[in-house]
Chains A and B, each alone.
Chain A
Amino acid sequence: MTSEEIFAKLKEKFGDKILETDTEAVQPIATVDPASIAEVCEFLKNEPDLDFKFLNCLTGVHINKVEEEEEEKLRVVYNMESLVIKHKTALDVIVPISKPNVPSVTSVWKTANWHEREAYDLMGIVFDGHPDLTRILCPEDWEGHPLRKDYVVQEFYQGMKVPYPEEEPKQEEKEEK
């Protein structure tokens, strides 16, 4: 099925919960209201002629500030695919940075478990209902979320100096010799 039909089916089932759909772009994508992302994914997976049983990728994105007054936004993109009907689609969800809560889709696809933990770890998006939302790549007690645009590396981690010494390695030694 082409992405128009898929989005049409979604709109007809979920109505206003599908905020906007963009089919001309290189990758057609539908923005979904954050609260209902779990139901939409459940529908996409169990609907016989959609059959999106395979979640390819779940990406956390930090949209940089476009207008002055609004606060920054975080975005989660879901790429999914059906191995039987061989068609794929993409959904995304936009949440403000102050309240980055997105319902977890681990109940729909088990592969989302680790992908969501990684999005939480690197981007700071909190997935409600996730079985064990802990850091997966950085150490458990690491501060801050590295992939955010405003991320500053912490000075010390358990007494070890973190930032790489920035000064030129060459110049000083040359003079001293």
Chain B
Amino acid sequence: MGRYFRDIYISVFTVLKGMYVTMLHFFSKSVTVQYPKERLEIPKGSRNQLLNIIEDCIGCDQCVRACPVNCIYMETIKSFEGDELGETSTGRKKSLWIPSFTIDMAKCCFCGLCTYPCPTECLIMTDVYEYSKHDRNDLIFEFADLDPIKAAELREKDAIRKKEKEAAKLAKLKAKEAAAKAKAEKEAAEEGKTPEKKPEDNPDKKTDNSGEENS
């Protein structure tokens, strides 16, 4: 019987104590901010939207490798002779054209791992957090400022250069095989004199060839 009345007393007492606490808050100042009108100021190092200052970017591909979710896509073309690419703000010579440098902010996990290895500190995290879009593809931000015509022209020159390189490599390969064949016939001619020497140097030659092809 005692417990019955004690329970009632405790519940009335604790309910009143709880109401007292909430009543105190009824008069205390509100801690919220009316968002669109007033805004909280964002601290300096806070990680929101990524921004790449393309003038300073030397296309070193460090950030693409550092990103855990691979959301940075970069295309670089080596500069041709006589091209004038200008320098970064710190006076560092640029040697790579960057026709397209995109960051897919929909995939980005805001870890900031890409900003640490950047040699020219051009990839930074700004404090812009209101960049929501209707279509997910609009979240893919393009930072390169090369005009499309120049970019297309560069791509063709690059394609031509690649073809020449391929041709040159093929030619070198053929030349090497020709030389190897010539050497083989010469040795076949001397075979009558020293049969055992031939087997061991043949495999090295073979490995050189295969090594070369792989590189």
A residues with CB within 8 A of B = 168-171, 173-174
Once the chains are docked, how many angstroms separate the CA of A169 from the CA of B142? 12
A168 to B74, CA, bound (A): 11
Residues of B that sit less than 8 Å from A by CB: 73, 100, 102, 104, 137, 140, 142
**CB–CB B137/A169 < 8 A:** yes
15 A-B pairs, CB-CB below 8 angstroms? Answer: A168-B73, A169-B73, A169-B104, A169-B137, A169-B140, A170-B73, A170-B100, A170-B102, A170-B104, A170-B140, A170-B142, A171-B100, A173-B137, A174-B100, A174-B142
**Assembly CA distance A173 to B135 (angstroms):** 13
Inter-chain CA distance A5–B119, complex, in Å, is: 54
Q: Which residue of A lies closest to B73 (CB)?
A: A170
Residues on A with C-beta less than 8 A from B137 are 169, 173
What residues of chain B lie closer than 8 Å to A171, measured between beta carbons?
100
- Complex CA distance for A168 and B104, rounded to whole angstroms: 11
User: Which A residues lie within 8 Å of B140 (CB)?
Assistant: 169-170
State how many angstroms separate the Cβ of A15 from the closest Cβ of chain B: 48
Bound Cα distance A173, B140 (Å) = 11
Minimum CB–CB distance from B64 to chain A (whole Å) comes to 12
The answer for the CA separation of A171 and B137 in the assembled complex, in Å, is: 12
List of B residues within 8 angstroms of A169 by Cβ: 73, 104, 137, 140
Q: Which residue of A lies closest to B71 (CB)?
A: A169
Instruction: Taking A168-B73, A174-B142 as given, write out 9 further A-B residue pairs in contact, using a Cβ cutoff of 8 Å, ordered by the A residue number.
Output: A169-B104, A169-B137, A169-B140, A170-B73, A170-B102, A170-B104, A170-B140, A171-B100, A174-B100
